[in-house]
Chain A
Amino acid sequence: NAGVMQNPRHLVRRRGQEARLRCSPMKGHSHVYWYRQLPEEGLKFMVYLQKENIIDESGMPKERFSAEFPKEGPSILRIQQVVRGDSAAYFCASSLSGPVNTGELFFGEGSRLTVL
């Protein structure tokens, strides 16, 4: 009965490199959300995906950030040409169904990105 699995838990990158963060939702969940937490802040919504579709990316920067949730495999949050300001904890959450639902998201343990 695995929960939401994120990897890596910790990732260090130098400025200009790429970061890839992975998220496997809970079994049976087809809705995935990515949130970013800066130090001393609450979580901020980035993107909401269903299998093969981006539903809402209103919280994701237009440049350098992209997300996907393929038919097979985990959801991937990709950050190209990382900068120091990208250093944060990135949380993935999943839910069983869409807006007509239980209104509950299940979170992973987060991936902490450090940009040197």
Chain B
Amino acid sequence: AQTVTQSQPEMSVQEAETVTLSCTYDTSENNYYLFWYKQPPSRQMILVIRQEAYKQQNATENRFSVNFQKAAKSFSLKISDSQLGDTAMYFCAFMGTQGGSEKLVFGKGTKLTVNP
């Protein structure tokens, strides 16, 4: 079974600075998707960024980028120029492509606080 581990329960960063959130996963599959979701206090799950495992290039979405290390099964999220609105829980998630089901496996999350 796949597992996702987020080793940082809480992190904080000053506004305008850069922060990196860690995520590791375990799978025997070769083809899969990885995601970072943001959950603000409103509790809605918002997709931040996703990565296909077969793509070597790291995904980037504006201030958000990932460092995908397939061999190490690591998928960290870097937030540049942090803004107060980035304060939220961040969940790393894995989706396999075998077995016919698109179920996401989530980590336990990292609570990020951006300080003014």
Contacts and interface: CB of A to CB of B under 8 A. Distances in A.
Interface of A: 31, 33, 35, 40-45, 48, 55-56, 58-59, 89, 91, 93, 95, 98-99, 101, 103-110, 112
Contacts, number: 68
B103 A45 contact: yes
Contacts of A33: 102-104
Contact of A55 (B42, B93, B100, B108): B100
What 10 A-B pairs are tightest by C-beta distance, nearest first?
Answer: A42-B106, A107-B45, A103-B33, A56-B101, A45-B103, A109-B44, A43-B106, A42-B108, A42-B91, A48-B101
Q: What is the interface residue range for chain B against chain A?
A: 20 to 34
Contacts of A43: 45, 91, 104, 106
B102 A95 contact: yes
B18 interface: no
B115 interface: no
